[in-house]
A and B are shown apart, each in its own frame.
Chain A
Amino acid sequence: MTERQVKSITQLSPIDVYMLLPRTNCKECGEANCMAFAAKLVNREVALEECPPLLKKEHEESYKKLQEILAPVIKEITVGTGENAVKIGGKLVMQRHEFTYHNPAPIALDVTDEMPLHAKSDEKDAVIDRVKKVENFLYNYIGRDLKLDMVALRSTSNDPVKFKSTVTEVTKATKLPLILCTFDPNVMEAGLIAASGRKPLIYAATKDNWKEMADLALMYECPLAVFAPNDLSLLRSLSKTLIEYGVEDLVLDPGTLPDEGISDTINNFTMVRRNACKGGDRLLGFPIIGTPITAWFGEGDSKEMLAWKEAYLASMLMSRYADILIMHSLDGWVQLPTVIWRFNIYTDPRKPVSVEAQLYEFGKPDEMSPIFLTTNYALTYFTVESDLKSFGGNYYLIVVDSEGISVEAAVAGRYLTAETIAEAVKSSGVAEKVKHKSLILPGMAARLSGETEEELKNVGLPDWRVIVGPRDSSGIAKLLKEKWPPKED
């Protein structure tokens, strides 16, 4: 029973789901009828448990069937407990355009039991310092806080006492979910005792230690990672064995092999995910763990080069199906592309690329507030929006319909022209709201400024002047300081 014949999410219709619902149209779920609820279930917008009648004894069988047909093809596994728990996996599809990816891959940073707890002057890496850095990592990206998620504790000492003590210190220092890394079951048990009640991910079971690790996973009720570097038959065999052994929550590691192993790595990750999603292989229907940290074990490279490799490996693995990552570098330039790419690929692919073209107001703009203009590409708009909000003043922002493309591309492709700008200013009605006659154009559209003044005349706005703004909206504050309010000619 390793394969299943379940309709994939893209084939599942609301009718399939509807037929198994109580069909009472009782509205207890808040929907107009059972069919509407079924449609939302298929879209993953509601949970089965929001249907009270379904939870009654007489519908037990249907409930079970629905759980089965709605179950994600990649099992969702929880690491950690309470509000600090993270969910990994839970993917419904292989490729992003088929359906939204769920559960953004958490990123764990490593510490070892041989690092000092706190850095002395001549040492760089220290356990608690690194843990605090993970906790404090923060980047505000178009209004969202991007963060790091977990701590991976590695035993480089292979000494249970040392490992236990480091795990104890880390659990005191942070509530972040943990991964305990050692192949020695005795060391692992010492760590598990110290991490009692935290439900860490056990990394990892191998062909040599699987039995002991399975016992620990069962005894401490923790999810278990399975490590079979570059050997998918072993990975699958371990998965089968561990499931039979009673371990239900597995995380698969086919090995992250940098440099000359990158082709095998990408192919292994892809084959594992594809067998689960397209081949119905339940033994591989678990989250995949990627370990870009292995880039650091390459030889002969500078630290910078190793971090560079780790950075691009992390992004590549996320695109090729990693559901959780273990990394080493805490450098901002390494983590920034990683957390932004993660945020991006976990967004809904059906989300429109553009925002509505209209006049937006920030703060309480009055008759002397500056007027900015940009295009309706969503990312452009959100960037400008987040900057204007962070400056905290009062502004008008005219958003022109550029068919959803950015300012630079829109100018080059003639989607943003003097004519479309003048038309947008006119129809926004902003001219009636202000006393001044100045329009601030994006720096990327600087070359349209002369023409725009001409076109503004043509739409009945004579004497309007264009001020060329910065090429990036982060420079708006500086521009206003220098050029606002505008000087009369």
Chain B
Amino acid sequence: MLSAEEKKAAAEIAELLQSLGLEGKRHIELEDVELTVKEIILDPSVLSSAALRGMMPPKRKAAAPPTAKPATLLEAPFTPFVQEYPGKIREVTLGATKSQGGSRGKPITIGGATTPAFYLFEQTPPNPPVISVDVFDMKVTLPKAIRTHVEDVWEDTAAWAKRAVDKWGAKVLTLHLLSTDPLIKDTSPAEAAKTIENVLQAVDVPLIIGGCGDPKKDAAVFKKIAEVAEGERVLLSSVTLDMDEAGVLEDVTKAAAKHGHLVLAFTSLDLNLAKELNRKICDYLPEDDILMDLTTAALGYGLEYSFTIHERARMAALMGDTELQHPVLSGTTNAWAAREAWLKLGPEWEPRSLRGPIWETVTALNLLLAGVDLFMMMHPDAIKTMQKVVQQLMNKGGAKPEKIANWVNAKI
């Protein structure tokens, strides 16, 4: 309840406002006025404007801002904060043309970054990241969303490879020699080499050769392929610390050096191990012939670990850590290991024909922003999106702000 004194004060203020001719005015501003009453009741008859009446219920600031308000826009031009980086990512070329000792039509150069990924305000990357398409040397278990695109060719590796190049625009192919696994078909190194020769005949893009994961078997297969693909600058995927433990790392890297190939150094989410492996490989192979795979976990299945280790690796490399200045590769097809990419989850999460490929796309794009240079991918829609977005990201200045200037009142 208001005291008689307060009621009197309120009435006086109302009277004051009226006598000042403020009735009907939209804004009332009190500057440098100190009010000591507990509550002010303004007679509604004084405040007759529609806007003010509408404002009665909400809270309002009692006091005006202390300083003079600007009447026009204050200029504060923007200058980007840029940085000098002592380090640089090495440039690496996959594939070799006839004159270079191979038979590839278009070799691909990746790496060379001098800033974090897509900091075009500092420097446009010298080479765009590239997408390699996965091909297997045998029929494999694949989610339906992918299977429908390849099941008519999955028992003919060369035909599968051709489709990836002709139909999906693959600039690089990864041939996964899954059948060489001793626990699957145990295909011999000679047979595996034959498969690679067929693919080299069928397409003219650079190749990545994927092993089965058994260190000794991979070493034997890689050595044979290094020989038959002499001079082609294929990427052997991958060499590991397990190979070192099994005593075959030296053999493989020497074979790569002798026949003019590259190796992919694979480690599992650990930069110290990545550095250790790179050091060991450098004993036999030039630094410029090494790529790193720091492990790609699927979205929802540890992608954040991959994202962060790639950001850390890239920053360390740019700040001068020479052992991490190799271009990086992501096995992005791993995205399909996430159940959300393929599992039936109920009608509200359908269709899986979109949910699967968006899973691979989102996994890829986030790693693109973390600095990955080369992607192994599988679904045609994910590949197409990546190709498009990479091209868009490489070109700044294309924004058309007028297109979105009125988005708040545009209809969808």
Contact = CB atoms under 8 A, between A and B. Distances in A.
A235 B78 contact: yes
Interface stretch (B3-11, B33-41, B69-77): B69-77
A369 interface: no
B89 interface: no
Interface in B297-313: 297, 299-305, 307-308, 311-312
A192 B407 CA distance: 20
Interface in B356-412: 358-359, 361-362, 365-366, 369-370, 385, 389, 392-401, 403-412
Contacts of A241: 70, 73-74, 76
Contact of A95 (B67, B119, B311): B311
Nearest to B311: A95
Nearest to B315: A95
Contacts of B337: 406, 408
Given A155-B409, A207-B73, A263-B118, A220 B59 contact: yes
A412 B268 contact: no
Contact of B58 (A157, A193, A231, A319): A193
A294 B404 contact: yes
A127 to B, nearest CB: 14
Given A141-B300, A263-B118, A316 B55 contact: no
A112 B411 contact: yes
Interface string A410-428: 0111100000000000000
A255 B354 contact: no
Nearest to B57: A196
B74 A240 contact: yes
B282 interface: no
Contacts of B231: none
B303 A341 contact: yes
B276 interface: no
Contact of B118 (A157, A256, A266, A297): A266
A267 B119 contact: yes
Contacts of A405: 268-269, 295
Contact of B348 (A182, A218, A264, A332): A332
A154 B297 contact: no
Contacts of A344: 299-300, 303-304
B1 interface: no
Contacts of B163: none
Contacts of A411: 213
Contacts of A471: 141
A287 to B, nearest CB: 18
What class of interface size applies to chain B in its complex with A?
A: 35 or more
A97 B408 contact: no
B85 interface: no
Contacts of B299: 337, 340-341, 344
Contact of A297 (B269, B305, B355, B404): B404
A211 to B, nearest CB: 8
Contact of A332 (B119, B349, B395): B349
A211 B399 CA distance: 27
B19 interface: no
Contact of A233 (B77, B121, B350, B359): B77
Interface in A193-224: 193, 196-197, 203-204, 207, 210-211, 214-215, 218-221
A237 B75 contact: yes
B70 A230 contact: no
B242 to A, nearest CB: 6
A406 to B, nearest CB: 7
A271 B82 CA distance: 9
B240 interface: yes
B340 interface: yes
Nearest to B404: A294
Given A265-B399, A271-B121, A344-B299, A472 B339 contact: yes
Contact of A379 (B183, B242, B297): B297
B398 A261 contact: yes
B343 interface: yes
B69 A315 contact: no
A242 to B, nearest CB: 9
A482 B109 CA distance: 53
B139 to A, nearest CB: 16
Contact of B81 (A214, A221, A281, A291): A281
Contacts of B228: none
B59 A181 contact: no
Given A154-B409, A336-B355, A344-B300, A197 B269 contact: no
A347 interface: yes
Contacts of A278: 81, 83
Interface string A328-370: 1000111011001100110101000100000000000000000
Contacts of A64: none
B105 interface: no
B80 interface: yes
A259 interface: yes
Given A154-B409, A337-B299, A245 B70 contact: yes
Given A196-B58, A207-B73, A281-B81, A154 B404 contact: no
Given A262-B393, A275-B80, 4 more contacts: A190-B54, A237-B77, A344-B300, A414-B242
Interface of B: 27, 51, 54-55, 57-61, 65-67, 69-71, 73-78, 80-81, 83, 118-121, 141, 181, 183-184, 212-215, 240, 242, 268-269, 295, 297, 299-305, 307-308, 311-312, 315, 337, 339-340, 343, 345, 348-352, 354-355, 358-359, 361-362, 365-366, 369-370, 385, 389, 392-401, 403-412
Interface of A: 2, 95-97, 112, 114, 125, 141, 154-158, 181-183, 189-190, 192-193, 196-197, 203-204, 207, 210-211, 214-215, 218-221, 229-233, 235-241, 244-246, 255-257, 259-267, 270-271, 274-275, 278-279, 281, 283, 291, 293-294, 296-297, 304, 308, 311-312, 315-316, 319-320, 328, 332-334, 336-337, 340-341, 344-345, 347, 349, 353, 377-380, 383, 403-406, 408-409, 411-414, 447-448, 471-472, 474
Q: List the 9 closest A-B pairs by CB distance, nearest first.
A: A246-B65, A412-B213, A279-B81, A261-B399, A260-B398, A264-B399, A229-B401, A332-B349, A232-B78
